[in-house]
Each structure stands twice: as C-alpha cells, then as structure tokens.
C-alpha cells in the first residue's frame, strides 16, 4: 500500500514538473519569436519588389515573388556599401584578433601568476565594464586627435582592442577552471612558463577564447557611436554607419521596380549576415566555452 502511494506521489510530482517545463518552453518560444520577428521581417522585405511591398494589403510575412533586385541595386548603385563592407571586415577582424590575443595573455597572468597588486588591478579593470561607454567619448576624441590616430583604421583598431574588461574577466575564469595539477606536472618535466601557457593551458581554453572572439566581433561590427565620432570621411565609414546614413535617402534613390524600403532592408540584411553566419558556424564552441568555467565565479 505504501509502495503504491509513493508511486502515485512520484507520478504527480513528475506531472507537475513536466507541466512547468512545457510552460517555461512556451514562454521562451514566445520571447524568441518576438525577438526574431523584426529580423525575419527585414530579411523577407529585402526580397520583395516595389509592388509586393507597397500594394499588398495587409502586409504579409511571406514572399510570393522573391527577387534580388534590392541587393543588386544597393551593391551597384550605392558604391559606398561594398567599400564600407570592406572597411568593416578590416577593422573588425584586426580588432577581434588583437583583443582576443591580449585578453588571453592577460587572463592567464591574472589566473596563474602572482605579483603585487594583482587583485586590485583586476578589480579595477572589472569595475570599468560598468562605466557607460559614452561617458569618456570626448576624452577619447581628444586623445586620438593628439596622437594623430583619429580618422585612421589604426586608431579604431587600438581603441576596440583596448576594451579588455569583459574579455579579461572571461579568460581569467576560463584559465581558473583548468586543473592546476596539469601545469604542475609539466613544470616538473621542465616546461617553461611560456610552454605552460602555450602548450598546456591555452589548448584547454579554446571555448573561452572563441567566446571572447565572437563577442568582440559582434561588438566591433555593430559599433556606431564611437566609429561615427572618430571618422569624418565617408570612404572610411563602416557598414553600420553606411546603412544608417543610407536609410534616410533610400526613398529618393530608389528607381524602377526597386522600393526604397526594400533596398534599405537589403542593406540591413547585408550588415547582419556576417555576424549570423559566424555565430551559426561557431555556436557549438560558444556553448562549450560558456560551460567550461566562464560562468563559474
């Protein structure tokens, strides 16, 4: 009798858990749909012609006659867009590589090395992540101007690579999750400090390194405020600035069967595709990096 009562209690508890899981998943799916709807709408609109965009009522989240005219037009009739895409790739790739490299070295130093003021320095760097980026914009403007780095790709790359608060925190936590016994064994075998870092610790922190790289890529690629403040010449603008500037003139520039709104959506889609492709390609490593110790305090 007791066994039957215990079994029914377990069944009721499992039923309650399953209902809670179903409700949680439904809420998450709803939130995901709300977040993805603008992105899907922009991509769908970029494939519509003028008639389908402006004459179909009510507007539909579906393309009946897909066309690439919007992409063809914006890439050929707005010559700045391909140039700005190239600029974005140059600045983003260089900044991401340098930022990730510095964060990896610094994270290992804060996790494994002992020196005076280590914890105080690390805490001061972490606190910097809570300072609004726009707060020091004018100071950074004057600094780059005095160093003759304003209106240069080098100035932008060095600025983005210097944003080390979050990357250093991530890499320090990642290296702390690596068992210290592995390095001790290698040290007994005669490994140098650099060999400990390069051959033992770093290969085990690939997930954390890719998390930093992905976050850096997304941040630099989509930056608008700092980049627009530090650049004066349109030929040096990135795609984030170019699409924003183009959106105000899209209606007057569109011709024939190309809708201004559709061409504008094509520009936004072009600016999103590299980030989406990179995340899809590296999502397994991103999740692995989050579970390797980054979220453990």
Block means of pLDDT (10 residues each) for the chain, length 297 residues?
A: 55 63 88 90 86 78 84 82 91 95 94 89 86 80 92 94 90 89 87 87 88 92 91 90 73 58 85 88 77 57
Residues in the chain, overall count = 297
pLDDT value, residue 1: 46
- Determine the distance from the C-alpha atom of residue 60 to the mean position of all C-alpha atoms in its chain, rounded to a whole number: 30
As a whole number of angstroms, the distance between CA 89 and CA 85 comes to 6
- CB-based contacts of 162, cutoff 8 Å, min separation 6: 99
pLDDT value, residue 279: 84
Element (H, E) at 87: helix 80-112
Under 8 Å between Cβ of 85 and 272:
no
Under 8 Å between Cβ of 122 and 172:
yes
pLDDT value, residue 55: 74
pLDDT value, residue 257: 54
pLDDT value, residue 8: 60
As a whole number of angstroms, the distance between CA 29 and CA 23 comes to 10
Under 8 Å between Cβ of 65 and 181:
no
């Amino acid at each position: 009798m007791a066994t039957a009562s215990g079994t029914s209690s377990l069944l009721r508890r499992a039923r309650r858990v399953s209902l809670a899981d179903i409700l949680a998943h439904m809420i998450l799916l709803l939130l995901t749909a709300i977040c993805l709807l603008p992105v899907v709408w922009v991509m769908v609109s970029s494939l519509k012609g003028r008639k389908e965009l402006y004459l179909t009522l009510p507007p539909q989240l579906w393309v009946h006659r897909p066309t690439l005219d919007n992409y063809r037009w914006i890439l050929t009739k707005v010559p700045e867009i391909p140039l700005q895409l190239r600029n974005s790739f140059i600045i983003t790739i260089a900044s991401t590589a340098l930022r990730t490299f510095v964060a990896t070295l610094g994270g290992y130093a804060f996790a494994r090395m002992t020196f005076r003021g280590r914890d105080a320095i690390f805490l001061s760097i972490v606190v910097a992540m809570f300072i609004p980026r726009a707060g020091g914009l004018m100071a950074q403007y004057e600094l780059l101007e005095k160093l003759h780095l304003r209106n240069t790709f080098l100035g932008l790359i060095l600025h983005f690579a210097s944003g080390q608060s979050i990357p250093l925190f991530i890499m320090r936590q990642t290296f702390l999750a690596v068992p210290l016994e592995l390095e001790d064994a290698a040290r007994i075998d005669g490994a140098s400090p650099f060999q400990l870092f390069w051959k033992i610790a770093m290969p085990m922190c690939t997930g954390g390194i890719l998390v930093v790289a992905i976050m850096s890529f997304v941040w630099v690629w989509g930056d608008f405020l700092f980049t627009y403040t530090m650049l004066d010449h349109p030929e040096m603008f990135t795609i984030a600035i170019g699409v924003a500037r183009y959106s105000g003139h899209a209606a007057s520039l569109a011709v024939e069967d190309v809708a201004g709104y559709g061409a504008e959506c094509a520009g936004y889609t072009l600016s999103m595709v590299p980030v989406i492709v990179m995340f899809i390609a590296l999502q397994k490593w991103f999740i692995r990096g989050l579970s390797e110790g980054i979220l453990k305090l």
